[in-house]
Structure 1
Amino acid sequence: MKKILFIFLLLSSISFGQNKFTVYFDTDSDQLKLNELIRFDDFFRNKKVKFTKLIGYCDYRASNGYNDTLAFNRAKFVSQIIEKVTDQKQIEIESKGENFEQNSNLKLNRKVEIFYEELVTEKILPKEDKKELSQQVSTAKVGDKLVLKNLHFYNRSGIFVPESRSILEELLKIMLANPNLKIEIQGHICCQKGTDVEDTAKVRALAVYNYLINNGINKNRLSYKSFGSTKPIHTIPENNEDERNENRRVEIQIVAN
């Protein structure tokens, strides 16, 4: 019986260990730098996976208790990224702190191991979705508003999450291909009525504006504006996360074409 149990545990360990991806952190930091965020996004892009466990680690510097907390916060940060871009919640988190066999190269110890199962599903390429914005622009009239779908930011900031690159690149291609097109970029937030104290909606509209300018679009073709929470699609307070996501959006309004 013991032999059967040992074989079962061994096979389980091998199966679990085969699906692992690791991201690395700077010293004393519990947030990933942009290059690691991009590497994470590139690896899981177009994969259908179920995330099963996140384990955080630290190098041996600082106290054991401090390292336990830092390692946990690193795993929590990765968990929050996954929750933002997928519908997966409450992924198991473990902190090993400095309590593991340390690598002599300390930067390899500052990490989170991401365990996952790759799901086998029939792939259907969303060809129509990829063309949706350009199709809308091609038929839009002056005054029409178009939502920039799948454009997301880190919490209360104007920093794009990696998955936003595709819609930004598509918008840039549209602007380059239509030299007479002029747009106003409009920011909206969710969840709260009244004044947008941190002006998050404006910060996000400005981020899109700056992205286009930095990639060669003349600023005379662009403007930006914040509507805060004054023009929600769904009544505030929203009923669920889907409604909140639709309210916290960036739109473009056609000014000339």
Structure 2
Amino acid sequence: MKKSVVLFLLINLSVFGQTKFTVYFDTASYQLDKIESNRLEEFLNNEELKITQIVGFCDFRASNAYNYNLSKNRALFVRNFIGENTNQTSIEIIAKGEDFQQDTNLALNRKVEIHYDEYSVKKDSGVLEDHFGQETDLERQVSLAKVGDKLILKNLYFYNRSGIVVRESKPILVELATILDQNPNLKIEIQGHICCQKGKDVEDTAKVRALAVYNYLVYKGIAKNRLSFKSFGSSKPIHKIPERNEDERNENRRVEIQIIEN
């Protein structure tokens, strides 16, 4: 395994604010045609988006009930499309049906609006900064790790009960993807854990988060045969449950990687 990994991005995120992107549908259809699918895929290639809401609409033709269901199916189709192309799956769905200010051009009413927060990304050449350009902590751990070792992805946080990574944690995923890219023999298992509750992970949050990391790495070009993911729920806490404070809860609700091959 390489002892030094050059990371090519210096990342600086800042919020632009919430805005929306709109896709349009054919009459009575809840599936996007090829042109609109391509537009949506290109939109999703912007990695610094947190999608918050998907809203479906219909023109006023047909009954209210029919239009409501069609608008909901359009929103669900878009959410599934987003889930297949990003690590974002927990998104609010709203069906408006025909209950909005209709445009005289009916084609503009057959739509789905995707509401999202956008962040600016500053990219420069160089080594990922660790104060003075030193090897980062994760890079050091991976370079010294043996098969079977487990490494915690420190400061990797998600929005509540979701697989959406908070913007401050995105550089951790970028770093992990780059380490894997620079170490082609490295294979890992991504392991999700939750805090606070014993027994079954009812909402599969640990699995959703492990899968989110897996999907991000695949999206960044890491071969699937080098990756796997697994949920441990709350069965392997660092601290006894119930935890005594928020620090212990944060350490229990974690994502780890286990070295499978190096």
TM bucket, shorter chain: 0.5 to 0.7
Residue 129 of structure 1 and its aligned partner are, at CA, apart by: 8.8
Q: Which runs of 5 or more residues in structure 2 are unaligned?
A: 1-14, 21-43, 51-129
User: Secondary structure, in 3 states, of the residue corresponding to 2:169?
Assistant: helix
> What secondary structure sits across from 1:194 in the alignment?
coil
> What amino acid does structure 1 have at the position aligned with 2:182?
A
State the match for 2:62 in structure 1: none
Secondary structure of the residue aligned to 1:172 is: helix
The match for 2:168 among 163, 167, 173 is 163
In the aligned structure 2, how far is the partner of 1:129 from the partner of 1:148?
18
- Residues 108-119 of structure 1: matches in 2 within 5 Å? none
Residue of 225, 229, 233 corresponding to 1:224? 229
1:151 is aligned, of 146, 156, 163, to 156
2:213 is aligned to: 208
Give TM-score scaled by structure 1 length: 0.52
Q: Where do residues 70-219 of structure 1 align in structure 2 (5 Å cutoff)? A: 126=131, 131-219=136-224
2:194 and 2:237 map into 1 onto residues whose CA distance is 8
Q: Give the deviation of 1:153 after TM superposition.
A: 0.5
More helix by share: 1
Residue 251 of structure 1 and its aligned partner are, at CA, apart by 0.2
How many equivalent residue pairs?
A: 149
2:247 aligned with 1:235: no
Residue in structure 2 matched with residue 112 of structure 1 by the alignment: none
Query: Greater CA deviation, 180-189 or 128-137?
Result: 128-137
Instruction: Specify every segment of 5 or more residues in structure 1 that has no aligned partner in the other structure, as ranges.
Output: 1-20, 27-33, 41-124
For 2:241, the aligned partner's letter is I
CA displacement at 1:126 relative to structure 2 = 4.4
SS in 2 for 1:225: strand
Greater RCO, 1 or 2 (C-alpha within 8 Å, sep 6+)? 2
Change over 3 Å in CA distance of 1:241–1:172 after alignment to 2: same
Alpha-carbon distance, 1:25 to partner: 6.3
Aligned-partner residue type, residue 168 of structure 1: L
Cα RMSD for the two superposed structures: 3.1
Distance in 2 separating the partners of 1:222 and 1:210: 10
Q: Which residue of 1 aligns with 2:249?
A: 244
SS in structure 2 of the partner of residue 170 of structure 1: helix
Aligned residue for 1:186, secondary structure, equals strand
Larger-gyration structure (1/2): 1
Amino acid at match of 2:232: F
Shift of 1:130: 6.6
Question: For each residue in 1:66-104, what CA deviation from the matched residue of structure 2 results, as whole angstroms up to 9, or x when unmatched?
Answer: xxxxxxxxxxxxxxxxxxxxxxxxxxxxxxxxxxxxxxx
Q: Which one has the bigger strand percentage? A: 2
Distance in 2, Cα, partners of 1:130 & 1:240? 32
